[in-house]
Structure 1
Amino acid sequence: MRALHPRYVLHRPLGPQANADDPERGQCPVPALSHHGHQRPVLLQTVTLLGVFFLGFGYFWLLVPKPEAQLQQLGLSCSVFTVSMYLSPLADLAKIIQTRSTQRLSFPLTIATLLTSASWTLYGFRLGDPYIMVPNLPGILTSFIRLWLFWKYSKEQDRNYPLLQT
């Protein structure tokens, strides 16, 4: 019974010695969740976001009876999320200016964001759909701000900072 106790399962070692005491199970490693305690905030954020998603889903399907109202409110919600996505890289703006380094920014992602947001803005303009056009305008603006930062703080100034290791 000891092998099934949660405390014993969570603290088993990984690798070849993980199941050395059980010849039937062989050498299959068991994930030691106790070694991943630093991932708890990420897990909590993920669960919270999933909860918000399901609350929103329930709101749209249970509390908003008319399909037209559902579409309008869903469009507004998606617009807010899109704008926040495009503004998120600017959260490091103060640190970028302070260090005079663009290492916190991704140049390929900046170009991709510019092309994607410009394409969606043009598409929304052609359709006359503000829920597509308006939220993608900040993507164009923030891409130009990031391109300006890449121009202002060229790679020569970044040589003092070591590359980030993943």
Structure 2
Amino acid sequence: MEAGGVADSLLSGACVLFTLAMYSTGLSDLRQMRMTRSVDSVQFLPFLTTDINNLSWMSYGALKGDGTLIFVNATGAVLQTLYILVYLHYCPRKRPVLLQTATLLGVFLLGFGYFWLLVPNLEARLQQLGLFCSVFTISMYLSPLADLAKIIQTRSTRRLSFPLTIATLLTSASWTLYGFRLGDPYIMVPNLPGILTSFIRLWLFWKYSQEQDRNYPLLQT
């Protein structure tokens, strides 16, 4: 195998490993829900948006014929769906959760129908779907920044998850390199904000690291 092929295989493997590690951080929330039989301190929306994001990127991977994208996002979609089902099982107020799920799923299905039925040109479909996935991913990476004001105000990083921050940094960096290697800006560009926000979180951990923060379990944002 040529050096370039080895590098591509290693990079693809890194994307799979780091991304699945990032998705698996949700297992701590799943364990907490099962132990407490409640959804206290567990946010539902990240599970749902990540699931839709996985399904979108899986569609892009299928259209592009990229096995790495398909495998990672198919696995991620299964995990996020599991988290959603467990959350729904223990959630006392199921109607708002079901409404959010139905709304976002409806938007996804409408988008799916548009891309696959109303955009017959394969290249145009690939570009438009790639743009949609990129914008959606960027919005997901930037959304946690809304918590920065509370973190700075309380001078506490208990709202942040250090393992998730590291996993996000490694995942974003590997996918950025993967997109660069493929010459695919739709993969490369949306992962740059993930690197940026991860460094911001690490800076917050360094700045507001206090003894009281180490006495509490870190919570996933």
TM-score, with length taken from structure 1: 0.72
Q: Higher RCO, 1 or 2 (CA under 8 Å, sep at least 6)? A: 2
Read off the aligned partner of 1:139 and give its amino acid letter: G
| Percent identical residues | 86
Read off the aligned partner of 1:94 and give its amino acid letter: A
Using a 3 Å threshold, how does the CA distance of structure 1 residues 67 and 51 change in structure 2: closer, same or farther? same
Using a 3 Å threshold, how does the CA distance of structure 1 residues 117 and 162 change in structure 2: closer, same or farther? closer
Using a 3 Å threshold, how does the CA distance of structure 1 residues 69 and 53 change in structure 2: closer, same or farther? same
Q: How far 1:37 sits from its partner (Å)?
A: 5.3
Read off the aligned partner of 1:65 and give its amino acid letter: P
Using a 3 Å threshold, how does the CA distance of structure 1 residues 164 and 102 change in structure 2: closer, same or farther? closer
| 1:89 and 1:105 in contact (8 A); partners too | no
Read off the aligned partner of 1:111 and give its amino acid letter: I
* Structure 2 equivalent of residue 122 of structure 1: 177
Deviations 1:14-65 (A, max 9, x none): xxxxxxxxxxxxxxxxxxxxx9652322221111110011000111112112
Gaps (5+ residues) in structure 2?
A: 1-89
| 2:162 and 2:218 in contact (8 A); partners too | no
1:92 aligns with 2:147: yes
Read off the aligned partner of 2:109 and give its amino acid letter: F
Structure with the greater alpha carbon radius of gyration = 1
Q: 2:167 aligns with which of 92, 112, 131?
A: 112
Aligned residue pairs total 131
* Structure 1 equivalent of residue 51 of structure 2: none
Q: How far 1:152 sits from its partner (Å)?
A: 0.6
| 2:166 and 2:198 in contact (8 A); partners too | yes
Which structure's residues are more often helix, by fraction? Answer: 2
- Higher mean Cα deviation, 53-62 or 148-157? 148-157
- Computed over aligned residues only, the root mean square deviation of the Cα atoms, in angstroms, reads 2.3
Using a 3 Å threshold, how does the CA distance of structure 1 residues 163 and 127 change in structure 2: closer, same or farther? closer
| 1:86 and 1:139 in contact (8 A); partners too | yes
* Structure 2 equivalent of residue 131 of structure 1: 186
Q: How does 1:23-42 map to 2 (within 5 A)?
A: 38-42=93-97
* Structure 2 equivalent of residue 156 of structure 1: 211
Q: Distance in 2 between matches of 1:81 and 1:129?
A: 16
Q: Distance in 1 between matches of 2:91 and 2:163?
A: 31
Using a 3 Å threshold, how does the CA distance of structure 1 residues 45 and 109 change in structure 2: closer, same or farther? same
